[in-house]
Structure 1
Amino acid sequence: MNLTSTLGGQFFILEKLKPFGLPLAILMLMVMMVIPLPAFLLDVFFTTNILLSLLILMVSLHTFRPLDFSSFPTVLLFATILRLGLNVASTRIVLSSGHTGSDAAGKVIEAFGEFVIAGNYVVGIFVFAILIIINLVVITKGAGRVSEVSARFTLDAMPGKQMAIDADLNAGLLTSEEAKQRRDDIAKEADFYGSMDGASKFVKGDAIAGILILLINIIGGLIIGIAQHNLPVSTAAENYIILSVGDGLVAQIPSLLLAIATAIIVTRVSTSQDLSKQIGTQIGIKQAWLPSAGVLFLLGIIPGMPNLLFLTASALTFFIWWTIKKQGESSGEINDKSVKENDEDKLDNTDDDNALSLSEIADNSAISMQLGYGLIQLVDDENDGPLIARITGVRKQISKDLGFIIPQVRIRDDLSLEANHYRIRIGQEIVAEDKIFPQLLLAIPGDSAQTKIEGTDVKDPSFNMDATWIEPHQQARAENLGYMVVEPEAVIATHLNQILSKQAADLLGQDDVQALLDNLSKTSPQLVSSTVPKLVPLNILTSILKLLLIENMPISDLKRILEVLASLNVKTMSPIELAEAIRPTVSSLLIQQIAPLNNALPIITFSAELEQMIVNIAKQTGANGLILEGSLIQKIVSGINSVMEKMQTENRKAVMITAPVIRRDLSQMLRQHIPTLDILSFTELPDNKKIEVVANIGSDEESNS
């Protein structure tokens, strides 16, 4: 019990001291440069320095991408400071105690010095100089150049990467959390390569400092040994050169290791493998090893060459080629066996040509589009997939207008369709289909188009207007004649836009609503937690939002919707009544899409007599809904259609305004005949919005309005 308590107390103390570990280490380095160290501590620190450099090199070799070792620039700085601190400490001992012998600065420096020099001072100095040149001129200079170029290219590529993330997010390929993580990775990558550009200068400066420290130790040591300690020149040279070269070598070996680690990090390509596996995979191709074995064999049979050595190398290379070849054949046999087994499974599971796979009958995509084989080119990557970009734009715009993320559109080829046909599904229901010509352009006549243009006459799939498919070379002539010319992918995208806007309520589910609530809870957590599900269950809220979307009412201001619900007696009201109560609060979102801020809102009204008659009929029918005579409905629909067509020629849109008591019943009736008609009540008009009455249905002046 006492032992456990003691160990627990020690671990607690260590945890508390952990934040102070790095600052204390930096302070110790500073102290090391000022206070003389005994030779034993110098040996310990030099050994630790070599160990640290080896660890950094091993970590660099086993990272999958540079960002996996994002702290490398800072670690490199600390390792450089440690090494320079040791150089200062060792120089003090070399110059002050070098006259006592080659072991004055510790066993590590003595061993490295005698090992390199091996009794010949000149050779030792030249070997050390070569190590410095390799470090400074080759590795450090190359790593610094790669760091500089990588930093510049990374910064230049940042805008494009950000746009790609936004495109994937809008296309539904990424969640908001994944997009945020990728943006953070891009920012970290830019910071990393920028830091590496500067950190490589540490390595270069360290190598230069090593040369200067070596010269100072040798020259200063000889002067001190001869002048102050009266040593013979040969003895002074022996002591101080061994110490100086040993000190420089002990410092330069870790420096060389860190320079190699720096070069590995900055030249590393992000993959799912460590460096050894990546290199092994890429050079392990049999086509490279057999010619190499052949060249070595030819060199081995040339008289005068070291024949045995070259022939042995050729045999070894040939053995590696044979091993790689056998491994490839084994993999091929496994793959062939897997394919054969899959084919047998298919034969077992298909009794006739009419058998279907599960993916063909269980497509769970919220939105899907099937294309005939003649339209595959519109989504082909080699042609930049123009349809994909159009669909992404449609999803983005509708999502902004309605206030929730439209699901991703799954596009598939369907050989059962005719070549140029396409089909749009919401869930499993086919909601639209038509035919386009991918090599042609669709010309839609405008108001000024008087001359008929030659081509294939059709109906525009979106608005059922007369249109003509023309050859691309006819585009200029068609535009001069007053036609609007549309690309085939734009025809499909416009049709999809119309379908998605009309079917938006079918696309919203409880998961989507929960995602909206989760997003709102980041800024209004109390409102969300006190409303859903305490006052309004998630399924009821989803039903309310669907009712709003059915009549094109945006749900983007979910905060205001929840605030209205929190103020109502929701337990005594149906979802329909709740949706009607919410509409005046969010109607301005729909109105601003129809008429910008400073423009008057075009409205269609009923004459006072006609509206009062409809109100009386609604009171009589009660819960059975609004029931009008067929002739009256036809008259109303005809009058509204005339106004809508006139407004369309002016590139404007009008809304129907009526009394609140009949608004919903009238909307259900009229939208069956005019799906694009928006019907608002008087109470849903903002007080500060200007209006323009463009028609008064049922009045004697209707035809002139």
Structure 2
Amino acid sequence: MKALNALKSSIISIAIVLIILIIITPLQPPLLDFLLMLNLSLSLVILLITTNITTALQFSIFPALLLITTLFRLSLEIQATRLILSNGGNAGEVIKTFGSFVIPNGNIVIGLIIFLIIVVAQFIVITKGAERVAEVAARFTLDAMPGKQMAIDADLNSGLITEEEAKKRRNDVQRAADFYGSMDGASKFVKGDAILAIVIMIINIAGGIISGVMNGGDMSTIMSTYTIATVGEGLMAQIPALLISTATGIIVTRAASEDNMSVEVSKQLFSQPLVLRTAGIVLILMTLIKGFPKLVLIVLGVLFIVLSFLVDRKQKKKTRPSQQAVQKLNAANSELERLKNPENVYSMLEVETIEMEFGYSLIPLVEESQGGTFVDKVVLFRRQFALETGVVIPSVRMRDNIQLPNNRYVIKIKGEKVAEGTVLVGSLLIMNPLGDDFLIDGIDTIEPAFGLKARWIPKEKREEAEMDGYTVVEPASVMMTHLAEVIRRHAEELIGRREINNMLDVAKKHNQALVDEVIPAKISVGELQKILQNLLHEDIPIRDIVTILETIADYAPKIKDTDVLTEFVRQRLKRTITHKIAPDGELKVLTIDPNLENKITSSVRSTEHGTYLAIDPDTAQKIIDNLSEQVNKFNQAGLTPVVLVSPAVRMYFKRLTEQALPDLCVVSYNEIENDVKVMALGAVAA
């Protein structure tokens, strides 16, 4: 087994060494016949592979294989030339047969013309075109890399893909750039081989004539013998080269698709019955032109018309109601019968925590039986969200709603609509990271999650959009990103007493004594829920439930206000907060004027139900206006505004500014690690 594995790992090295030996070692005609047919077979296999792959990266070894096959073909041409010149034009049965087949009745001129046409067609039409396409593809693929990387990062950050999937997609982007860069250079191998074929042809004919004349042969016989051998050798070299050139052109022009080339051609070329019918009618009308072959035109015209009707019938068959749709209709009728009993209506009163409703056109994005991927994306996001925040969100209830527009969806939290959006199935959403206008035609829209300027474009323009550096997003990913953002904004509403008890059950497995000490001896489950909701309200993860419970155990005997307890928990979670707002160890902040801090402190009022801030409206408005001005300066500089205040003021300052600036991050000195470098770039005054 080890010997077999070693042979597999070094088979290419052995093959290259053998090719070099073929160049310098004389071969007998039977062995050359075998190698020529092997070369033809390998070329055919390579061509068939390129027509059956769906993406170019499935055959990423092609550039290196192109070099090896060219070298192999060159070695055979050298051997054939050696035999032609040294063996009286006898280079084996394969070369002789090909030469005789192409040169009818010994007509040397026709044979040479056919050979030259094949070589020139390969050189000018196929090889030159493939070389240009590879060059352009390499440049555009490299230019599109930043946009593709940003799209991958966006999907990863929103939880649509895992870290492993992100790594795989980044690797695919890099491999695509390397592949087209390699193809740009490798295509020149075939170009040089075509030029060499013409040179070898001239050498064989000229050398054969000189050799035959020196041996005293008849000129007519010499010309016939060596020309047949030369044309046969050229064809046996150039037919495989033509197959390889065709494979090169196919693979560099192959766009990513779901099926192989044959299926895609049949789908796209024969998908318009009206076009086929029109072509058939035109062909039949051409029989009126004098001199045209009427029978051929009639046969072709009838063939196209019959094909158009077959395609039309197939498409209509697809649009008929499927058995699955009929089953859904029967199920709906059964549901109506069931709801006639008033007792069954009570089951409909339960409110779902998270719910999504979809218009009719969006059902294929959700239904797994129709190839929808949205459910899988939701599952991946639940895992990612749990790892980030410590909250396991409830299952998302998904249902269709015939009252919605076809392309509309609605997101509900606890039965009430909190967001909605529109996506176009069969299209792609593009966004410009630079904020410039779009150069690709489409339908302008607004990205629903973050309100960014965007545009819907046809799927066929995906490659063009990626090459232009746009961020390209699938419709299902647009909905998932919107749902993820809504869940993050309403995370505090998603954690109820049931979820709290589940978290405590998990904590009990390793910290039974701590849980029993805190719940319900020092606080109730409801009070713990309020503390966790306070943390989630300001986007603080609650994954470290042990530290939260330990802090509550320390302070709950003296403090009963859950808001104040939340402040002490935040201070214990300062490492988590620091890593969230200052991942690189530097923090640019806004501070507040000491006089303002004193004013806020003196305005705090305490009651039996807790504390609140009693500040006059005029002063509050001045504070918010000044703060908004400072925040705008941060935003214009591309910075995320963070307000740093004293621990005694943090909670009240956050409440004061929350209505006007809900996403503003307000932290206290005790919530920042000591090794963080803090830079104050502004101050807020009353």
TM more than 0.5: yes
C-alpha contact 1:504 1:549 (8 A) present in aligned 2: no
2:190 aligned partner, one-letter code: V
Q: CA deviation at 1:176?
A: 3.6
Unpaired runs of 5+ residues, structure 1, are 1-10, 372-394, 435-495, 513-530, 615-626, 696-703
Partner in structure 1 of residue 203 of structure 2: 216
Cross-structure match for 1:15: 5
Which residue, 120, 131, 139 being the options, matches 1:152? 139
- 1:443 counterpart residue number: none
Is residue 250 of structure 1 aligned with residue 236 of structure 2?
yes
Give the Cα–Cα distance (whole angstroms) in 2 for the partners of residues 301 and 360 of structure 1: 74
In structure 2, C-alpha distance between the alignment counterparts of 1:156 and 1:673, rounded to whole Å: 44
Task: Show the counterpart of 2:308.
Answer: 321
Q: Aligned pair 1:306/2:316, yes or no?
A: no
Structure 2: how far apart are the matches of 1:498 and 1:38?
A: 74
Q: Is 1:113 equivalent to 2:76 in the alignment?
A: no
Question: Is 1:637–1:674's contact at 8 Å kept on the other side of the alignment?
Answer: no
> Which residue number corresponds to residue 280 of structure 1?
266
CA apart distance, 1:532: 10
Matches within 5 A, 1:448-487: none
2:644·2:669 contact (CA, 8 Å) conserved in 1? no
Q: Is contact 2:47–2:244 with CA below 8 Å preserved after alignment?
A: yes
User: For residues 411-460 of structure 1, what are the alpha-carbon distances to aligned partners after superposition, in whole Å with 9 as ceiling and x for unaligned?
Assistant: 9999999xxxx9985x42659799xxxxxxxxxxxxxxxxxxxxxxxxxx
Quote the residue 1:96 is aligned against. Answer: 86
Matched residues in 1 for 2:350 and 2:77: separation? 74
CA RMSD, 1 decimal: 5.6
Q: SS at the partner of 1:315?
A: helix
Cα separation, 2, equivalents of 1:56 and 1:183: 27
1:479 is matched with which residue?
none
Q: What is the Cα deviation at residue 343 of structure 1?
A: 4.0
| Distance in 2 separating the partners of 1:152 and 1:679 | 47
- The amino acid that maps onto 1:283 is L
The CA deviation string for residues 235-280 of structure 1, in whole angstroms up to 9 with x for no partner, is: 3223222221111110011011111111222222321111111111
Contact persistence 1:656–1:678 (CA under 8 A)? no
TM-score normalized by the length of structure 2: 0.62
1:648 aligns with 2:624: yes
Distance 2:419 2:207 in 1: 91
**What is the CA-CA distance between 1:600 and the residue it aligns to?**
5.0
Supply the distance in 1 between the matched residues of 2:351 and 2:136 (Cα, whole angstroms): 50
CA distance in 1, matches of 2:239, 2:656: 84
User: Retained in 1: the 8 A contact 2:276–2:305?
Assistant: yes
Q: 1:255 to 1:589 in 2, by over 3 A?
A: closer
Separation in structure 1 between the aligned mates of residue 626 and residue 109 of structure 2, nearest angstrom: 95
Q: For 2:257 and 2:581, locate their aligned partners in 1 and report how far apart those are by CA, in whole Å.
A: 51
For the structure 1 residues 21 and 569, does the alpha-carbon distance in structure 2 shift closer, same or farther, using more than 3 Å as the test?
Answer: farther
Q: In 2, are the aligned partners of 1:602 and 1:655 still within 8 Å (CA)?
A: no
Q: Name the aligned partner's letter for residue 300 of structure 2.
A: A
Residue of structure 2 in register with 1:194 after alignment:
181
Letter in 1 for 2:68: F
CA contact (8 A) 1:114 1:242 kept: yes
Q: Measure how far apart 1:26 and its partner are.
A: 0.8
CA distance in structure 2 between the partners assigned to 1:114 and 1:416 by the alignment: 75
Q: Following the alignment from structure 1 to structure 2, what is the Cα–Cα distance between the partners of residues 433 and 271? A: 34
- 2:34 maps to which residue? 44
CA contact (8 A) 1:605 1:657 kept: no
Cα distance in 2 between the residues matched to 1:142 and 1:546: 64
- Going from structure 1 to structure 2, the CA distance change for 1:59 and 1:167 (only over 3 Å counts) comes to same
Shift of 1:167: 3.7
Q: Distance in 2 between matches of 1:309 and 1:34?
A: 54
* Structure 1 residue corresponding to 2:43, chosen from 53, 69, 72: 53
Q: 1:391: which partner in 2?
A: none
What letter matches 1:144 in structure 2? E
Counterpart AA for 1:79: T
Distance 1:113 1:370, change over 3 A: closer
Change (3 A) 1:141 1:429: same
The residue identity in structure 2 corresponding to 1:276 is: S
Structure 2 residue aligned with 1:129? 116
Letter of the 1:260 partner, please give it: T
> Residues 554, 143 of structure 1: CA spacing in aligned structure 2 closer, same or farther, 3 A cutoff?
same
Instruction: Name the CA shift for 1:430/1:142 in 2 (closer, same or farther; >3 Å).
Output: same
Q: Assess, with a 3 A threshold, how the Cα gap between structure 1 residues 207 and 591 changes in structure 2: closer, same or farther.
A: closer
Over 3 Å counting, the alpha-carbon distance change for 1:423 and 1:549 in structure 2 is farther
1:629 Cα deviation (Å)? 4.5
Please give the secondary structure, in 2, of the residue aligned with 1:650.
helix
Provide the secondary structure at the position in 2 that maps to 1:335.
coil
Classify 1:288/1:361 alpha carbon distance in 2 versus 1 (closer, same or farther; 3 Å).
farther
Aligned mates of 1:231, 1:329 — CA distance in 2: 73
TM-score calculated relative to the size of structure 1: 0.61
Cα distance in 2, alignment partners of residues 110 and 176 from structure 1:
60
In terms of Rg, which structure is larger? 1
**Partner amino acid, structure 2, of 1:150:** A
Contact 2:493–2:533, Cα closer than 8 Å, also in 1:
no
Q: CA deviation at 1:327?
A: 2.8
**Residue type at the aligned position of 1:657:** P
Indicate the larger mover: 405-414 or 296-305: 405-414
Q: Give the whole-Å Cα distance in 1 for the aligned partners of 2:322 and 2:165.
A: 37
Judged with a 3 Å threshold, the aligned counterparts in structure 2 of structure 1 residues 33 and 574 are, in CA distance, closer, same or farther, namely farther
Aligned partner letter, 2:80: S
Q: Which amino acid letter does the alignment assign opposite residue 254 of structure 1? A: P
- 1:44, CA displacement in angstroms? 1.4
> Please, which of 83, 93, 96 is the counterpart of residue 73 of structure 2?
83
Unmatched tracts of structure 2, length 5 or more: 360-380, 421-482, 500-505, 516-527, 557-564, 631-642
1:234 counterpart (212, 217, 220): 220
Residue 246 of structure 2 aligns to which amino acid in structure 1?
I
The match for 1:384 is none
The alignment status of 1:261 with 2:247, answered yes or no, reads yes
Residue type at the aligned position of 1:77: L
- Is structure 2 residue 261 aligned with structure 1 residue 271? no
Q: Is the 8 A contact 1:67 1:189 kept in 2?
A: yes
Q: Over residues 607-653 of structure 1, what are the superposed CA-to-partner deviations in whole Å (9 max), with x where a residue is unaligned?
A: 9x99xxx9xxxxxxxxxxxx9645x967x632699986664343175
- Written as runs of structure 1 = structure 2, the 5 A alignment for 1:340-359 is 342-351=328-337
Q: Assess, with a 3 A threshold, how the Cα gap between structure 1 residues 650 and 412 changes in structure 2: closer, same or farther.
A: farther
Give the whole-Å Cα distance in 1 for the aligned partners of 2:352 and 2:485.
23
Higher relative contact order (CA 8 A, sep 6+): 2
Checking the alignment, whether the CA contact within 8 Å between 1:553 and 1:589 is kept in structure 2 is no
User: Residue 161 in 1 paired to residue 148 in 2?
Assistant: yes
Contact kept in structure 2, 1:370 and 1:424, CA below 8 Å: no
Pair 1:230–1:22, CA change in 2 (3 A): same
1:452-499 CA-partner distances (Å, limit 9, x unpaired): xxxxxxxxxxxxxxxxxxxxxxxxxxxxxxxxxxxxxxxxxxxx9999
Q: Secondary structure at the match of 1:230?
A: coil
Going from structure 1 to structure 2, the CA distance change for 1:497 and 1:315 (only over 3 Å counts) comes to closer
Q: Which residue of 1 aligns with 2:478?
A: none
Q: Which whole-Å CA distance do the structure 2 matches of 1:690 and 1:312 have between them?
A: 83
Identity %, equivalent residues? 31
* Cα distance in 1, alignment partners of residues 59 and 671 from structure 2: 62
